[in-house]
């Protein structure tokens, strides 16, 4: 039995595009850091 035939018998196989995951996580991290800096900057500005 070939690998392809074996996979077909099991049903759908999940494929993960690592580059797409890295890009998405990068966007999430970038957004979170920007939000944190904005809160920090705003609170710092209000104190002085």
Does residue 7 have a pLDDT over 60? no
Q: What percent of the chain has pLDDT over 70?
A: 79
Helices (H) and strands (E) in the chain, counts: 2, 0
How far apart CA 20 and CA 29 sit, in angstroms, is 14
At 41 the three-state DSSP class reads helix
Ramachandran assignment for 12, one of left (phi > 0), alpha (psi -120 to 50 degrees), beta (any other): beta
Q: What is the mean pLDDT of the chain?
A: 85
Closest-CA residue to 1 (of 38, 19, 9): 9
pLDDT at 34: 97
How far apart CA 48 and CA 38 sit, in angstroms, is 16
């Amino acid at each position: 039995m070939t690998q392809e035939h074996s996979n077909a018998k099991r049903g759908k196989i999940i494929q993960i595009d690592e580059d797409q995951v890295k890009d998405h996580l990068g966007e999430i991290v970038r957004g979170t850091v920007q939000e944190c800096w904005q809160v920090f900057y705003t609170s710092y500005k209000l104190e002085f």
